[in-house]
Amino acid sequence: MSSINKFTFVSLSLVLAVVFIFSDCSRKSSESKRIQVGAILFETGEAKSYGIKSKRGYDLALKWAKSRDLSLIPDILYADSGADESKGVAEFKRLTEVERIRFIVGITGSGVAMAICPLLREKDVLVLEALDSAAKLTDCAPNFFRIYPSDVIQGSFLADWALELGWKRAGLVYIHNAWGEGMQEGVENGFTSKGGQILVKEGIQQNLTDFSSIIVKVRAAELDGLFLLIYPTGARRWLEQSTARGLVITTLGGDALTGTEVAQAGEASNGLMFSAPHPGEGREYEQFVEQYMKEFGENPDVYATKSYDAMRLALVALNELQSDKPQAIKRFLLAMDTFEGAAGPIRFDENGDLVEARYARYIYENGEAILVQQNTEE
Amino acid sequence: MEVFLKSLPAQIANGIIVGAIYGLIGLSMLLISNVMKLVDLLRGDLAITGAYLCFWLSALCGFPFAVSITLAVPLTGVLGLVVERSVYRPLARRSHYAPLVAALGLSIAIQGALQLLFGPEMIGFEQTPPLLPKVAEWGLIRLSRLDVILVLSFVLLTSLLHYFLTRTRLGLGLLAVADDEEASYSCGIARNKVYSFSFFVASSIAGIVGILYGLQYGLEPGAGFGLTIRAFIIASLAGSRGVLGAAIAGLALGVVESVCTGLLGANYRDSYTFLVLLVLLWIWPEGLFGRIQKRYARI
């Protein structure tokens, strides 16, 4: 290499290095003004529809913030747990350790959240959850807040509904995870404490595909009704297989049956009843429904509404504080007066749980979940 | 216990239906493990791929369902053939682990590709005519058209395969390679052709299994894993007694799973299955139908 070539090479390298360093610095400095929040959703797996609904809710909350000229609108970093606990933990570590995120709005799936709780206790990270209901999450971590009511209340709500229907002998099929076990406990305690009997109780794994043995058991037990506390894809399989195996029984399910997968069972879903948190009412709710309808051409379900509320509350907190410091947000959430969400008022107790829980009853007719009654419980 | 006893006949019937699926996928695995002396971890994934092919042809390309099956089954066979020629054959002679590792990688790749193409959620076949209405009912036993088709397919395919292996020249060639590869080679049997043929037949059977499974339980990209595990168990239990052994082992596995679920609950279903396998293999290390010293003597 001649001396000129050497000189050119060294000069060019220096120029490139300087450009690279400066461009990186400027990128970092512009990035430092942007706050990022994380979200660990179900984008794949048993209940993929939850992830779709949550994202829609978040998008509309961001639009709401822009329409009100809020100064601090964060970027959302999405992660997918696929309803798998170990994957959820890995994504939580990535978001908090690699991406340095301090505020997570949504860790969908009680099982996933339960797996993350021990890590959350050791980190300065705040979680504001939209859809998790497991009773055990009350003791998750000091920095865990949720706007979805605990399963203990829903279980008792379902048990009362069953007793109203005149059930005395019931079966219970539930999924073996934090959500399913919480619901099972709530339903069983509520039902048996008021004179009901659970004659068939089956805990199942999440990926079970063949329900025929359980269906035969339920048929043989000649029950008044069945509590079906499983995820929507499993529920679709259950409904299709129970129709094929000749099981005709009044069935009550939990809020997981809101998932669109259930309706794909077609006629087999007709008559299936389930409870879910109150869908909402009032001006906030009407505005949200109108906006949702305009954007997505359908009515929002409770998951979309709750996700919208969680992100909106997060935006209010971030803008009020102009910071994403977890302890500051925690103080804000505990001290705030009632926040008027689209799905109803939000106020937290000292454990980060909702003070007030409201439920509604639904029934599937022609592939659509129809609201039949709204109730309020505290 | 009263509920269990009342439901026992229906549990056995359910076990036979699911056992028919297990038996067929076990046959598919046994054919390959005995001829090529390798454990094919792709059996379940190939089966599910066959089912997705059928779904693609019928639901997305608009072919009638019967035509879709007729096309999807040999296509799955060809896919198996491609895997044999491009992955297993070159790697099989290098080390024992290479084909296993390659199969694991391919299994993950197939699941990823299916997820990308068809989405991660469960899909169901449009059944025309509907296959779920009942055709017979005795007490708690209720059989749908699909159940009958499934059991008949099992009986037919098992019989055909048995006939082919014991009565045709090609089948006997296959048995000869399974029995003694070197000796059969010295007698002029084209070993590579036998490998390819057995892979084609085994993968076509896997395609049929996948379609029947999809019709009965719906399809998901990851559904093949459970089938592979069952195929593996059946091949272990069947030992050297080939077609008949795999058929009986499949039915037995289905009945054990179903009856244990009825008696002990569904939560630890896979645990019962493996516990039973462990006990049986402890008592009979060559499998239920094995001969003492010739582990892979016949298909």
pLDDT tens digits, one per residue of A217-260: 999 999 999 999 998 889 999 998 998 888 999 999 988 888 77
Range A125-133 average pLDDT: 92
pLDDT at A33: 52
Cα–Cα distance list, B213 to A31, A334, B51, B234 (Å): 51, 52, 8, 17
Cα(A268)–Cα(A264) distance, rounded to whole angstroms? 9
Weakest-pLDDT range from A78-82, B62-66, B240-244 = B240-244
Question: Across the interface, do B266 and A236 touch by the CB < 8 Å criterion?
Answer: no
Statement: residue A145 has pLDDT above 70? yes
Smallest CA–CA distance, residue B76 to chain A, in Å, is 23
**Which residue, A342, A190, A324, A210, is CA-closest to A254?**
A190
**Average pLDDT value for chain B:** 85
pLDDT band at A266 (very low <50, low <70, confident <90, very high): confident
CA distance B193 to chain A (A): 38
DSSP codes joined into one string, A168-206 = SEEEEEEESSHHHHHHHHHHHHHHHTTT-EEEEEEEE-T
CA distance B110 to B228: 14
Looking at CA atoms only, how far is residue A217 from chain B in angstroms?
A: 6
B128 pLDDT tier (thresholds 50, 70, 90): low
- Residue whose pair of structure tokens reads 């094995």 in the numeric block: B290
What integer pLDDT is reported at residue B130 of this predicted model? Answer: 66
Tell me which of A9-18, A362-371, B17-26, B91-100 is least confident. A9-18
Angle (nearest 5°) at CA A275 between A219 and B132 = 40
Rounded to a whole number of angstroms, the distance from the CA of B223 to the nearest CA of chain A is 9
Q: Does residue A188 have a pLDDT over 90?
A: yes
Provide Rg for chain B, Cα atoms.
Answer: 19
Among chain B residues, the shortest Cα distance to A44 is held by B120
Predicted structure pTM score = 0.77
pLDDT number for residue A152: 81
B142-165 as b/e: b if 16+ CB within 10 A? bbbbbbebbbebbeebbeebbeeb
CA distance A227 to chain B (A): 16
* Structure confidence by residue, pLDDT tens digits, A88-116: 999 999 999 999 999 999 998 888 999 99
CB contact (8 A) between residue A212 and residue B18: yes
Least confident of A31-35, A278-282, B194-198, B263-267: A31-35
What local confidence, expressed as pLDDT, does residue A24 receive?
46
Q: What is the pLDDT of residue A94?
A: 94
Output phi, psi for A203, to 5 deg.
-90, 135
Q: Is A219 left (phi over 0), alpha (psi -120 to 50) or beta?
A: alpha
Q: Is the dihedral of CA B266, B267, B273, B279 positive or negative?
A: negative
Only one residue has tokens 């063949």, namely: A210
Is the backbone of residue A334 left (phi > 0), alpha (psi -120 to 50) or beta? Answer: alpha
Q: Is the pLDDT of residue A10 over 90?
A: no
So what's the pLDDT on residue B74?
96
Report the pLDDT averaged over residues A120-132: 93
Residue B110 amino acid letter = I
pLDDT tier at A5, thresholds 50, 70, 90: low
Residue A204 near residue A234 (C-beta atoms within 8 A):
yes
Asked whether the beta carbons of A280 and A342 are under 8 A apart, the reply is yes
Interface of A with B in 119-138 (CB under 8 A): none
- Rounded CA-CA distance A245/B134 in Å is 8
pLDDT band at A278 (very low <50, low <70, confident <90, very high): confident
Q: Which residues contact A228 (CB under 8 A, 6 or more apart)?
A: A173, A235, A238, A251, A252, A253, A257, A272
Whether chain B has a CB inside 8 Å of the CB on A169: the answer is no
- Whether B3 sits inside 8 A of A264 (CB atoms) is no
Instruction: Note whether B130 contacts A: Cβ–Cβ < 8 A.
Output: no
Region A157-161: mean pLDDT is 92
Nearest to A169, CA basis, from A114, A231, A111, A225: A225
Nearest-Cα residue of chain B relative to residue A203: B267
Contact B265 A202 (CB under 8 A): yes
Closest chain B residue to the Cα of A175, Cα to Cα: B267
Please state the rounded mean pLDDT for residues B163-174: 84
Residues 71-110 of B with CB under 8 A from A: none
- Shortest Cα distance from B18 to chain A (angstroms)? 8
Inter-chain residue contact B121 with A246, CB threshold 8 Å: no
Stated as kind and residue range, the H or E segment containing B86 is none
Give the closest of B14, B115, B134 to A216, CB-based: B14
Residue in chain B closest to A260 (alpha carbons) equals: B121
Indicate yes or no: CB of B267 within 8 angstroms of CB of A203: yes
* Residue B287 per-residue DSSP state: -
How far apart, in Å, do the first and last CA atoms of chain B sit?
A: 41
The closest CB to that of A48, out of B10, B121, B124, belongs to B121
Residues of A in Cβ contact (< 8 Å) with B267: 176, 202-205
Closest CA to A303 of A343, A269, A331: A343
| DSSP one-letter code for B142 | E
The interface pTM score, or ipTM, of the predicted complex is 0.85
Domains of chain B: 2-133+149-283 (1.10.3470)
Q: Looking at residue B194, what is its pLDDT?
A: 84
Q: Do B146 and A244 touch (CB under 8 A)?
A: yes
Helix axes A110-122, A178-192, angle to 10 degrees: 110
A18-32, A121-135, A257-271, A316-330: least confident range? A18-32
Q: What is the mean pLDDT of chain A?
A: 86
Amino acid identity, residue A301?
Answer: D
Q: Name the residue facing A246 among B14, B137, B222 (closest C-beta).
A: B137
CB atoms within 10 A of CB A66: 10
Alpha carbon of B184: minimum distance to chain A alpha carbons (Å): 43
Give backbone dihedrals phi and psi of B133, rounded to 5 degrees, phi first.
-55, 150
Across the interface, whether the CB atoms of A204 and B267 are under 8 A apart is answered yes
Contact B269 A233 (CB under 8 A): no
Is residue B228 within 8 Å of residue B43, measured between CB atoms?
yes
| Interface touch A209/B226, C-beta < 8 Å | yes
Least confident of A74-78, A216-220, B174-178: B174-178
Burial A161-170 (b: 16+ CB within 10 A, else e): bbbeeebeeb
Instruction: Give the type of residue at B135.
Output: V
For B39, which DSSP code?
-
Q: Are A173 and A142 in contact (CB under 8 A)?
A: no
Question: Is the CB of residue A72 less than 8 Å from the CB of residue A318?
Answer: yes
Question: Is the pLDDT score of B210 beyond 60?
Answer: yes
Give percent of chain A above pLDDT 70.
89
Does A220 lie at the interface with B, CB-CB under 8 angstroms?
Answer: yes
β-strand partners of A250 = A225
Cα torsion for B282, B283, B285, B289, to the nearest 10°? Answer: -140
How many other C-beta atoms can be found within 10 angstroms of the C-beta atom of residue A377? 14
- In 3D, which of A195, A127, A117 has the Cα closest to residue A352? A127
Q: Is the peptide bond before A300 cis (omega within 30 degrees of 0)?
A: no
Q: Give the minimum alpha-carbon distance from B98 to chain A in angstroms, rounded to a whole number.
A: 28
